[in-house]
Structures are given as C-alpha cells and as structure tokens.
Structure 1
C-alpha cells in the first residue's frame, strides 16, 4: 500500500504580494468612492465659526417661520445683463420695498463673490412697479444668491436661492 502524504501548501512570497496588493486596492477604492461622494454632495456652505452659527440657528429658524407666514414670494430675473427683483404678497399684489441688496456667492470660490445694491426700477415684470434692478452679468455656473429686501419690516425680507446661470440668463 502506498500512502500519499500531501504536503501542506506553503504561504509564499507570491501569496504575500497578492494579499498586500488586494489590501491596498480595497483601501484606495474606498478612498476614491468616499472622495467622489463628498465632492458630489458638498453644498458649499462654509461658516467661520461653527459654534456661533449653531447658537444663531434657532433665532434664524424663528425668523424664517415668521417670514414664511407672510406668504410673500420673491421674483428674480436675470437676463440681458440685468438683475431684477420684486416681491408679491399672497394675493399676487406687489409689496412696496425701500431697497434691495444681493450677494452672489460662488459655492466653491469666495474670491468670486459679488455684492450688489439694486435701485428702484419700473416695468419689466408685468403688473409690478415695485421692482428693483441693477446692471450685472454673473458668470455662467451655479450661484447662491442671498437677497435682503427692505420692505418696512423690523428685519429685511430674506430670500436665499441656489441658481444656475447659463449664457447670461437665469435657468
């Protein structure tokens, strides 16, 4: 009778190389996946001091609820090198304003942020003589527009929008 004794498999240098390569492939793959997800989901929101911002959140939320209760709607148009803004109440009637300030914030580059003060204008938005306008052509791309409209309230009516500009016009 002949007995075959099987030799145990050895862990060779080739096995070690495959193990190390597999480990680093998984680590690099997970890093790429996480970086891609972070880049796609980043809102661009940056604050200088997160603690102070968190303390102000409840007050801002309260102001936002009070403003929403008014039922006002802002109308923003950007075309032909002009930015125009107006407010209408819940019934669609124009809300008289005393002034409008805007901040065009680029989501990724603070150096491209631009502040505007709009002047009273007439026409352009049918049925509304309470529009404010300024000559301005934002670059094409995504912008966060922060609008503060002085409508005689204790604090300005605040309208914040994320918009897309293409070929000099609001999309």
Structure 2
C-alpha cells in the first residue's frame, strides 16, 4: 500500500464557525431578497377598507335588484389592436328593445392580479343606444371589463365580466 503524501485536514472549530456563519448569511440574504420582491410586487387589495365595503353591501343588494327589475340589455364588444389600443362598442336597450339614449357609460379594464395596470375607457354616445370608446396602452391577457351606466347622477347599470384580449 502506498502511503498518502498528504494527511487529511482536521475539522477545527474555526472551520465549523465560518461554514455555519456563511450558511446562515446565505439563507438570510435569500430571504431578504424574496421578501423585498414580494413587498414591491404586491398588487394591493380589492377594497381599501373592508369595513366601508361592508356598510355599502346592503345598498349594492338593493341596486342589483333594481337593475334586474329594469331588465336592460347591454351588449359589449371589445377588441385589442396590435398597437395596444382597445376599442369598445356598447349597444344598450331597455326591456322593450328601445335604445337607451342620454346615458353616461363608464368602462374600465381591470387587471385581476394588479390594480396598477387598470385602464379607464372613455365612452361617448355614438347614436341611438350606441356608445363607443377606446383606451391606449392595453396589454394582452385576462382583464375584468367593468361597465357602469349612470342617468341623472344615479347608477342604473353595473356589469363586471372576465375577458381575454389578444
């Protein structure tokens, strides 16, 4: 048998201390980076105050019942163009099929995961019961299309639908 020309290095207290400190320094550093990324990319909350939202809940139920009783038909069509512009077309009719005129429609594209990406759409009346609008800088992907219709300063219609824009 050949004798090894180099003897194995003994594990000393200094070596154990350095490796233990290095291990925990790496773990803590990675945790701090992940925490920083989680905090800076947090999209926010759905509502700013759950208490205020709960107080308005009964009014929302009454408004939804009144909207169902009106039985309005609001059809929306939205397209995203390659330049990032989204165009929306609304057709609004009452229960008898008569076009709704003089309404103030507001539309919003809301990102389900990040409120900072929300886009308002300016909508104006284009004809009898026909409303048109557009928004710039709309990315492809999933969005919530929120449509609100006001008449005489009172919300008469609310719709929220999940859509996919290509």
Q: What is the TM-score of this pair, normalised by structure 2?
A: 0.61
CA distance in 2 between counterparts of 1:78 and 1:115 reads 13
Tell me how many residue pairs correspond in the alignment. Answer: 117
* Counterpart in the other structure of 1:158: 158
Relative to structure 1, the CA distance from residue 64 to residue 153 in structure 2 (aligned partners, 3 Å threshold; closer, same or farther) is farther
Alpha-carbon distance in structure 2 between the residues aligned to 1:106 and 1:132 = 23
1:104, distance to aligned residue in structure 2 (A): 1.1
Once superposed, what is the RMSD of the aligned Cα atoms? 2.2
Bigger shift: residues 91-100 or 50-59 = 91-100
1:87 corresponds to:
92
Is 1:118 equivalent to 2:117 in the alignment?
A: no
- Are the counterparts in 2 of residues 95 and 151 from structure 1 also a CA contact under 8 Å? no
Which residue in 2 is equivalent to 1:134?
Answer: 133
- Cα separation, partners in 2 of 1:143 and 1:83, compared to 1, 3 Å: same
Contact 1:119 1:132 in 2 (8 A): yes
**Superposition misfits of 4+ residues, deviation over 3 angstroms:** 151-154
Distance in 2, matches of 1:152 and 1:96, equals 12
Gaps of 5+ in 2: 1-43
- TM-score (norm. length: structure 1): 0.60
- Matching of residue 103 in structure 1 with residue 108 in structure 2: yes
Specify every segment of 5 or more residues in structure 1 that has no aligned partner in the other structure, as ranges: 1-43, 123-128, 167-171
Cα deviation digits, residues 105-127 of structure 1 (max 9, x gap):
100011110112212214xxxxx
Residue in 2 that maps onto 1:66: 66
